[in-house]
Structure 1
Amino acid sequence: AHFHELLLNKVFSFAGVYCEISLAQSPAVVKTPGESVKLSCKISGFTMTSYYMGWVRQAPGKGLEWIGRVNSGSSNSPDYADSLKGQFVLTEDVPSNMQYIEAKSLKPEDTAVYYCAR
């Protein structure tokens, strides 16, 4: 399975205030079926505990598929897409502004670009 690096940047300007929002993801990795992987997403430019933080993926030639979301900073369990429950684990490290997605026992159909999003 191939997992690709993605850097999402949004720049906002309002009343002379400059704010750069960045979600910087871990580098691409190549895994074989049955292996596990843990991808990270470093948040900067906003307080992630004010948002739901989610993960989506896009398999080659396909549309976006929602994996799940975390109500950041809350004690609530993450929400997962019904079709993917049990395949992924979403976690976070609030003090470090990090979001994580872990997949165990990868399958060929898990080959995709994985995006973190707010």
Structure 2
Amino acid sequence: SLESIPSTPVVKNPQEAVSLSCRGSGFNFGGYGMHWAREAPGKPLEHIGAIWYDASKTVYDTIVQGRIEITRDNSKSMVYLRLSNLKPEDSAVYYCTRNTHNHNYVLLFRDLIIFEFVFTSAVI
């Protein structure tokens, strides 16, 4: 399973930054790529970035490019998202998700990425 940190809504002002964390348990965390996605009211789920299982590579969507950083600490089974220079359109429910197969590299096809989501945990 995945646990969101913090587990309560976060309120920020424009141009501030936010840091979200997600702790994995019950699976070999270090063997999986991890993704972040978000869903704003009335809008479809959108993938915003991912990090390889060994943290060797990150990929970020153009909508957040330059404002996003995803990191991980496999020794703590944690994955982190930092989003800076916040905009009103960043308001959403944020999800951390894991890849479906050990050591699979990230699929970048937006229409397919939702099928990679097997565990989700939401924070605002």
Normalising by structure 2, we get a TM-score of: 0.73
Give structure 1 regions of 4+ aligned residues with deviation exceeding 3 angstroms: none
- Structure 2 counterpart SS, 1:90: strand
Alpha-carbon shift at residue 52 of structure 1 (Å) = 1.1
Aligned to 2:46: 65
Contact 2:34-2:97 within 8 A present in 1 as well: yes
Aligned residues: 96
Are 1:111 and 2:91 counterparts? yes
Counterpart in 1 of 2:82?
102
Secondary structure of the 2:63 match is helix
1:50 aligns with one of 31, 36, 50: 31
* Corresponding position: 1:29 with 2:10: yes
Cα shift readout 1:18-50 (whole Å, capped 9, x = no counterpart): xxxx10002221101011110000100111221
RMSD: 1.1
Gaps of 5+ in 2: 99-124
| Residues in 1 aligned to 2:62 and 2:84: alpha-carbon distance in whole angstroms | 17
Distance between the aligned counterparts of 1:81 and 1:105, measured in 2?
Answer: 16
* Aligned pair partner of 2:61 in 78, 81, 85: 81
The share of aligned pairs that are identical, in percent, is: 45
Match for 1:40 among 21, 25, 48?
Answer: 21
Following TM superposition, by how much is the alpha carbon of 1:95 offset from its aligned partner in structure 2, in angstroms? 0.6
TM-score normalised by the chain length of structure 1: 0.77
TM-superposition CA deviations, 1:64-110 (whole Å, max 9, x none)? 01011111224x22011133211210001111100000011100000
Letter in 2 for 1:64: L
Conserved? CA contact 2:30–2:77, under 8 Å: no
Aligned AA (2:62) = D
Q: Distance in 1 between matches of 2:66 and 2:83?
A: 9
